[in-house]
């Protein structure tokens, strides 16, 4: 038995979708535990590209059970579109998909508030959300005003809750954001149609999942976003609104911590970020542009260009601590092909003009080897780089470690030493088989 979490180690888009798809072969169940359709997980199989938003990436394998857990926020319209889109591409979606009756529902007013609050925020305060209503939906969950899938399935309860929520929401929309009010009847009719479509997928997924675990079947817990976007551990407030690190599995699926056997951290060979917020290793020069073009760094959900930079070992060590990674999947190594030099940030340097830093070097230039939680300090941090040799030979599509140029092997070894965690998988291209498997994190088999 082996139940493994797959979690992003950076600011999302590390290539989790590809890694989950790869590992699904040896598991029975793939379960999402947080986030919503803000996620965009890309899987490329035989030149066909699939972008999964809410449905676990395991859906592309025949005969695997996919679960959308209670920690996920579900926009029913978006989910139905995704189901229909997959079916159009020949992927069966039916008895292989289950939705938690305790997951919270994203309502049209969540999306409206998300977009209006972003629009009215000052430039420096804009989070750059995906505009999918994620934050406001989690706000309602936490304030205990949320509507759950079980409520959606009960027309009377749904109508009552919707009516109660709209009285406040419409006040906000009209008076603060000066936009149109939302009609109860319109949403009610629309969501009742959604409910009828989704009804057969709904169940208590904690019961279901734990039955599989009891039977000794392998499970993958598929994370969305990444550790630095986690609501508690990320670069707050420039984060998403869910628990994107491994800790989210237990609350987001109703699975006990004692059931988790390992945590695979997905690490992109460099760093990217979409939206606002601090990014110490960001490259606003030609190298950043090169990474964006070569790596195809444009959002899988919104199409926005991703900000690019060098690998940040300060952030990664932090992610190792928060998630307890047992293995690492290093992705997009091939994007670094042809670079003369490659840099890794090993510490942050900070000159404190206000003498407000709490470290012992008060007022002088100090170094951080952990992410400071004061955003003003983090924004002012500069990277301390270790420079490594690049390589000119292509690694694209490499399937054996020994086929990698020695500088690429040295880069991987350097990352392992910095983080104290072994790299088990090395992804060398977007396609399913473009990967070097040193150890299968699910079966533990070494190659």
331 is a site residue for ligand IMO (CB under 6 A): no
* CA 17, 23, 28, 31 torsion-angle sign: negative
8 is a site residue for ligand IMO (CB under 6 A): yes
Tell me phi and psi for residue 300, to 5 degrees: -75, -20
**92, 237, 296, 338: residue in contact with ligand GDP (rule CB under 6 A):** 296
Widest distance between CA atoms in the chain: 66
Residue 41: active-site member:
yes
223 is a site residue for ligand GDP (CB under 6 A): no
DSSP state of 446: B
Q: Contacts with ligand GDP in 45-104 (CB under 6 A)? A: none
Of 299 and 390, nearer to Mg ion (C-beta) is: 299
Least distance (Å) from Mg ion to the CB of residue 347?
28
The catalytic residue among 21, 37, 41, 53 is 41
**70, 100, 331, 424: residue in contact with ligand GDP (rule CB under 6 A):** 331
40 is a site residue for Mg ion (CB under 5 A): yes
Distance CA 220, CA 144 (A): 30
Q: Contacts with Mg ion in 257-316 (CB under 5 A)? A: 300
Please enumerate in sequence order all residues whose Cβ is within 8 A of that of 252, keeping only pairs 6 or more positions apart, or say none. 32, 33, 34, 69, 70, 71, 72, 242, 243
**22, 146, 427, 442: residue in contact with ligand GDP (rule CB under 6 A):** 427
Of 165 and 241, nearer to ligand IMO (C-beta) is: 241
- Measure CA of the first residue to CA of the last residue in the chain; give whole Å: 20
111 is a site residue for ligand IMO (CB under 6 A): no
Distance CA 392, CA 395 (A): 9
262 is a site residue for ligand IMO (CB under 6 A): no
Least distance (Å) from ligand GDP to the CB of residue 52?
8
Choose the stretch contacting ligand IMO; rule: CB under 6 A; options: 20-28, 92-100, 126-134, 312-320. 126-134
Q: Which helix (H) or strand (E) holds 140?
A: helix 134-142
- Secondary structure tally for the chain: helices H, strands E: 13, 20
DSSP state of 173: I
Cα angle for residues 10, 13, 16 (degrees, 5° grid): 95
106 is a site residue for ligand IMO (CB under 6 A): no
Binding site for ligand GDP (CB under 6 A): 8, 12-18, 40-42, 44, 296, 300, 331-332, 334-335, 427-430
Q: Which residues are catalytic?
A: 13, 41
């Amino acid at each position: 038995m082996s139940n493994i979490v797959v979690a992003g180690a950076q600011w999302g888009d590390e290539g989790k979708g590809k890694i989950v798809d790869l590992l699904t072969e040896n598991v029975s169940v793939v379960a999402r535990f947080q986030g919503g359709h803000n996620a965009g997980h890309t899987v490329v199989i035989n030149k066909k590209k699939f972008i999964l938003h809410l449905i676990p990436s395991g859906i592309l394998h025949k005969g695997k059970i996919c679960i959308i857990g209670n920690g996920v926020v579900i926009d029913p319209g978006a989910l139905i579109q995704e189901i229909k889109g997959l079916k159009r591409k020949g992927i069966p979606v039916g008895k292989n998909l289950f939705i938690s009756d305790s997951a919270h529902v994203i309502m049209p007013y969540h999306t409206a508030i998300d977009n209006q609050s972003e629009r009215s925020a000052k430039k420096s305060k804009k989070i750059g959300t995906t505009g999918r209503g994620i934050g406001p939906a989690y706000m309602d969950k936490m304030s205990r005003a949320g509507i759950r899938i079980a409520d959606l399935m009960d027309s009377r309860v749904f109508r009552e809750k919707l009516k109660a929520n709209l009285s406040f929401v419409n006040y906000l929309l009209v008076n603060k954001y000066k936009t149109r009010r939302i009609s109860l009847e319109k949403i009610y009719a629309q969501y009742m149609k959604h409910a009828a479509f989704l009804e057969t997928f709904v169940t208590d997924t904690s019961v279901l999942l734990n039955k599989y675990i009891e039977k000794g079947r392998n499970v993958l817990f598929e994370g969305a976003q990444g550790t630095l976007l986690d609501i508690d551990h990320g670069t707050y407030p420039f984060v998403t609104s869910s628990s994107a690190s491994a800790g989210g599995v237990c609350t987001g699926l109703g699975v006990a911590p004692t059931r988790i056997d390992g945590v695979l951290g997905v690490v992109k060979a460099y760093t990217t970020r979409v939206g606002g917020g601090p990014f110490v290793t960001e490259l606003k020069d030609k190298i950043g542009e090169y990474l964006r073009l070569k790596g195809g760094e444009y959002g899988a959900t919104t199409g926005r260009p991703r900000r690019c930079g060098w690998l940040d070992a300060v952030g990664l060590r932090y992610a190792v601590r928060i998630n307890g990674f047992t293995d690492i999947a290093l992705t997009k190594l091939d994007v670094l092909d042809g670079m003369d030099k490659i840099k890794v940030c090993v510490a942050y340097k900070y000159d404190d003009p206000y003498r407000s830093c709490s470290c012992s070097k008060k007022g002088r230039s100090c170094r951080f080897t952990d992410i400071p939680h004061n955003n003003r300090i983090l924004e002012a941090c500069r990277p301390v780089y270790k420079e490594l040799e690049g390589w000119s030979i292509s690694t694209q599509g490499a399937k054996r470690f020994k086929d990698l140029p020695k500088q690429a092997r040295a880069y991987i070894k350097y990352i392992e030493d910095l983080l104290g965690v072994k790299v088990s998988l090395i992804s060398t291209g977007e396609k399913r088989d473009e990967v070097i498997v040193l150890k299968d994190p699910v079966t533990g088999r070494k190659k």
